[in-house]
Structure 1
Amino acid sequence: MGYEIMEKVIPYTGITISRLIFALIVLIAGFLLARYVTHIFKNAIRKTNIPDLTIQFLTRLLNVLFYVIIILAFLKSLNFDVDSYIVGVSAVIGLVLGLGMQDTFTNLTAGVCVSAIRPIDMGETVTVNGQTGRVRAVGVMSTELLTPDNQLITIPNKLVWGNSIVNMTRMPTRRVSVDVGISYSSDLEKAIEIAFNLMKTHPLVLQDPEPAVVTTELANSSINLQLRAWTKTENMVTVKNSLTAGILEAYTKEGIEIPFPQMDINIRGIKPREEIKLKEEIKPRENEKWIV
């Protein structure tokens, strides 16, 4: 009686109950085996010098291949003609490519290139396709970035591989630049010396390469200087904030003026007495300085 039930054909399918149970066992066992093999593969490859980003990509790719094989085995267990399915899938792929939907395969190829050549890696801060963030993952089809304000950005791999990539944390050291302007009446040499000493005595500023102070511009209201200091990449934000606050404090203490924007106003076509009267009537507002 039990045998007859197991060999009973499910209506409209042509599949017996016993064959369906066997196919489900194949499906479940296949997924469990794939999970186990993937786990073994990941642990084994982590003992090598292969970067985490590449390991993650290879693991995901291996999972995809396993799932395809498992599904084909499941269909084979149900007595489906798998060979014809493979031919059919190949035809569909050809049709998809012919319709211009090859982006999927382009993204897959780009993901392989990114993982192999590694212009970016897990945890690095990069700018890709105009987006800046920390690399969270490189998948089979896309790359994920996490912005400083905790937004998740997903970028197709073809845009990652096909565009310029700025890697801001790959190098062990970076240069910090701080711009400051001093008035034309201030002592330029003294201002440069103060800025240089500020960097020389900073505990996080590297002395090789040596810090420098450069005069960058003779602007309308100020002589613009730029403090250039090298530091370890992880200290960049700290050093920039510290130097910005430090140069303001040092210049204030030493009497070096950091001016507000100024404008010279020349008034023509009025008599001297009218000019004197105009100067008396028109006075600068509070916190403004006019040079006439």
Structure 2
Amino acid sequence: MNELLSTEIYAGRTLGDFISFDFLAALVGDLLAAVVVLFLGFIIAGWVSRRIRAVAERHKRLDQTLFDFLSNIARYVVIGLSVLIVMSTFGIQTTSLVAVIGAAGLAIGLALQGTLSNVAAGVMLIFFRPIKLGDFVTINGESGTVKSINLNFTELASVGNVQIIIPNSEVWGNTITNFSAYPTRQAEWTFGVGYNADLHLVEKVILDTLMSDPRFLADPAPTVKVTELGASSVDFLARAWVKREDFFGYSKDMNRDVKIALDAAGVEIPFPNRTVHIIKDD
């Protein structure tokens, strides 16, 4: 039943007219049409949403978070259009309704400025993707693995598997340190040896130890250089490259392995020394 016919049927009716056969037939027809439109709308909305998600599932290089967001937007748009069609079927002026909804949205927006700032930041995070699911990051002083990014907040899991919730406005408006952005990372150590040590031997021992681990990457080349003549030690700065996923394990293991290698080579690793002079009064 089109909008014109529906308007003519419902307008100017008295209570007695509501029980007429023609009116009841038109009402039932409109109700059935509304049910069919809503039913088809929900089916189409679900189908469109699944198709969009499937694109990200087929192409692993695409960001799943972005396509989840787009699929939800598409679903609600289709459902909203279905509701507007149903309202038009019953002769409701959708133009006026949209104006009322817009005014109400403005009032709600002014009342929920903080929440909407999080939503706006969430949209920016999803579209520009400075972080992705599974990245290890530091945001606003909090470190952890990104577990979810939605329109209101970002969820991290700390190294100890503790949930951290950060409002999106604080994520987008702060410095983000993403340790997972690049496939390789440079590990760095400082090793101190005694002043009587053979510096060429120390350099060779450290370098050989770094290179002997299978996680070591030969390109870029590692470096082992004297960087400081300290108060009680000669300090060597060592740097080597590894794959991102090997960084933490390799960094920690080399502290142990270099110490063992220096001990085996007879190289002294000194303790800080302090000389205390005691002056006695006569």
Q: TM-score range by the shorter chain?
A: 0.7 to 0.9
Aligned counterpart for 1:93 among listed residues 80, 105, 108? 105
TM-superposition CA deviations, 1:196-225 (whole Å, max 9, x none): 121233322112211112334433433332
Q: How far apart, CA to CA, are the structure 2 residues paired with 1:79 and 1:253?
A: 91
Pairing 1:1-292 to 2, within 5 Å after superposition: 30-44=41-55, 46-47=57-58, 50-66=62-78, 68-69=80-81, 83-99=95-111, 101-269=112-280
Whether the 8 Å contact between 1:57 and 1:138 is mirrored in structure 2 is no
Indicate the SS of the match to 1:166: strand
Indicate the SS of the match to 1:236: helix
Which amino acid in structure 2 is aligned with residue 188 of structure 1?
L
Indicate the SS of the match to 2:240: strand
Identity of aligned residues (%): 29
Which amino acid in structure 2 is aligned with residue 109 of structure 1?
A
Structure 2: gaps spanning 5 or more residues: 1-17, 20-26
Change (3 A) 1:241 1:110: same
Whether the 8 Å contact between 1:60 and 1:140 is mirrored in structure 2 is no
TM-superposition CA deviations, 1:235-291 (whole Å, max 9, x none): 1122112211110111111122223332111223557xxxxxxxxxxxxxxxxxxxx
Change (3 A) 1:147 1:47: same
Whether the 8 Å contact between 2:48 and 2:74 is mirrored in structure 1 is no
Q: How far apart, CA to CA, are the structure 2 residues paired with 1:130 and 1:23?
A: 53
Structure 1 stretch displaced more, 159-168 or 110-119: 110-119
Change (3 A) 1:22 1:198: same
1:229 deviates by 0.7
Which amino acid in structure 1 is aligned with residue 254 of structure 2?
L
Indicate the SS of the match to 2:216: coil
Indicate the SS of the match to 2:182: coil
1:192 deviates by 2.0
1:186 deviates by 3.1
Q: TM-score, normalised by structure 2?
A: 0.75
Task: Give the total of aligned pairs.
Answer: 257
Note the aligned Cα RMSD (angstroms). Answer: 3.2
Q: How far apart, CA to CA, are the structure 1 residues paired with 2:90 and 2:228?
A: 78
Q: Which has the higher helix share?
A: 2
Which amino acid in structure 2 is aligned with residue 61 of structure 1?
I
1:161 deviates by 1.9
Which amino acid in structure 2 is aligned with residue 222 of structure 1?
S
Q: How far apart, CA to CA, are the structure 1 residues paired with 2:260 and 2:107?
A: 69
Change (3 A) 1:46 1:249: same
Q: TM-score, normalised by structure 1?
A: 0.72
Which amino acid in structure 1 is aligned with residue 108 of structure 2?
V
Which amino acid in structure 2 is aligned with residue 56 of structure 1?
D
Structure 1: gaps spanning 5 or more residues: 1-6, 9-15, 272-292
Whether the 8 Å contact between 2:203 and 2:224 is mirrored in structure 1 is yes
Whether the 8 Å contact between 1:182 and 1:259 is mirrored in structure 2 is yes
Which amino acid in structure 1 is aligned with residue 248 of structure 2?
V
Change (3 A) 1:135 1:69: farther
